[in-house]
Chain A
Amino acid sequence: MIRFEEVSKHYSGGKDILQGVNLSLEQGEMVVVTGQSGAGKTTLLKLMAALERPSHGSVWLNEQNIGHLRRSAVPWLRRNIGFVFQDHRLLFDRDVLGNVLLPLEVAGFGRKDALARARAALDKVGLLDREKSRPVALSGGEQQRLCIARAVATRPPLILADEPTGNLDREYANSILDMLVNFNRQGTTVVIASHDADTVTTKHRTVRIHRGKLT
């Protein structure tokens, strides 16, 4: 489903963050990306969602070279990806339900359908009774769960979760991981980035980024 071929990435003027990365991910797989802070985990995930383009090499998603995608084709690709942002990116001028509705609106779901799916997603993360709250009124863990609800609301075939358990205590972290494992069991491909290798069980495939290379 995802294939990296000799991918290098540097931001303008900076040194290579990723160097000649090769990686292949099958549909339905669950992969954990680990590495120190600043190793390039977020960068790797962003390359998968065409939020960044490779400096060298090519990234393939469903047999499409996303480095060579037309500008107008990018939105369609992103709609099939549920991205859990490391910095949350919640909208503080919308309530909880409004935040989860956003990807459904973007994808063009009708009002009724969108509402039903948004509530189903909120129910999954245990926030259904908070749908009228503003994100500021949520605790850190609740905000994290809201991010996940937003990422899964459209039931995308691919979920990219960047530090979904960051800064959470073990209990919360485990419940969120359980959730992602559940999505994976239903066939969703899941990529998790986490600097804390311990949070992640060894049951799943793990790739480590070290000095720009995968180990």
Chain B
Amino acid sequence: MKAWWVHVQYAWRTVFRRWAEAPFGHALTVLGLGVSLILLAVLFMALMGAQRVVDGLPAQGAVLVYANPHASDADRQQLSAQIDVLPKLARKQFISRAAALSELTQKLSLGEMAHQLPDNPLPDTWVLTPSVLDVTLIQQWTQTLTALPAVMLVQSDTVWVGQLRALVNTGRHVVLLLAGLLALGLVSIFGLAVRLQIVARLPEIDVSRMIGATDHFIARPFLYFGLLEGLLAGLVAVFGVWLLTVDMLPRLDVLLRYEGQTSLIVLPSLQMQAVFVLASALLGWLGAWLAVRQALWR
């Protein structure tokens, strides 16, 4: 345990010594990696924004059924009966044409004008809410209801809500795929950086082996180096994202935001930033591990 701790301390000292030998080169590497990570972070933020849009959508789109004003009572009763047996109906609300007109009159402050209309132009309306958001179900409802003589028109916002959800899901898939690719690229760059170091240290590695160094002893500084580079690159990225959100995104947000709605830009929480930096450090460690494995442990 004590020897292990001594070796860990030694490895970190070695990491810092090596860093100090070529600070500019290592700083450039970290900067480059950090900028790539910003890309990754922005992708994720875009995804979270899209998710927020979807979450803000009505969970259950409503179906509006407008009755034909000239329908007979029998036809109306048939419609009412049909509505009651619709599959997966969660809720129904009836708005009579009179109620609709008075509400409209109030809303638009039409006052006396409404009374001067020769006839109430509004139809009786049912607002139907399905218990699940399922496009085929809604299509089935629409078909059934449209066929009835008492129905003038069936309208639904469910279809485009479903489509938008599908779109965001596809987007999420694409973002995850891109993120995976980017992470793979980052691992190889981290690995390459460590590999260069290993090649430069081959004489030292050789001598160390000959005087009794274990594989772990030799590998440790390189692994820690990858870890440190990943950590710093992650911090650079977090700082970069912060700059972006402070400067650029508010402008963008003005374009995207609807009045009274929450912002589309999701700022990463402190926790998420920490996770991001740790993940980056892990990528660096992984790259280093691959390089070490390839170069030393054949």
Contact = CB atoms under 8 A, between A and B. Distances in A.
Interface string A79-111: 111010100010111100000001101111111
Contacts of B203: 89, 91-92
Interface stretch (B5-13, B76-84, B259-267, B272-280): B5-13
Nearest to A88: B207
A111 B11 CA distance: 12
Nearest to B213: A106
Contact of A75 (B2, B3, B7, B214): B214
A213 B254 CA distance: 90
B208 interface: yes
Nearest to A94: B204
B212 A106 contact: yes
A69 interface: no
A91 B212 CA distance: 16
B25 to A, nearest CB: 15
A94 B21 CA distance: 11
A77 interface: yes
Contacts of B7: 108
Nearest to A106: B213
B21 to A, nearest CB: 8
A92 B213 CA distance: 19
B212 A107 contact: yes
Contacts of A76: 212
A91 B6 contact: no
Contact of A103 (B6, B21, B204, B212): B212
A70 to B, nearest CB: 12
B253 interface: no
Contacts of A77: 212
B213 A75 contact: yes
Contacts of B3: 108
A102 B6 contact: no
A109 B6 contact: yes
B206 interface: yes
A83 B6 contact: no
Interface in B37-94: none
Contacts of A109: 6
Q: Which interface residue of B2, B7, B10, B211 has the most chain A CB atoms within 10 A?
A: B211
A150 B204 CA distance: 14
Given A91-B204, A102-B207, A106-B217, A111 B9 contact: yes
Nearest to A107: B212
Interface of A: 49, 51, 72, 74-81, 83, 85, 89, 91-94, 102-103, 105-111, 150
Q: A-B pairs with the 10 shortest C-beta distances?
A: A78-B212, A79-B212, A108-B3, A75-B212, A106-B213, A75-B214, A103-B211, A108-B6, A89-B207, A105-B10
11 contacts: A49-B210, A75-B212, A76-B212, A79-B211, A91-B204, A102-B207, A103-B211, A106-B211, A106-B212, A106-B217, A108-B3
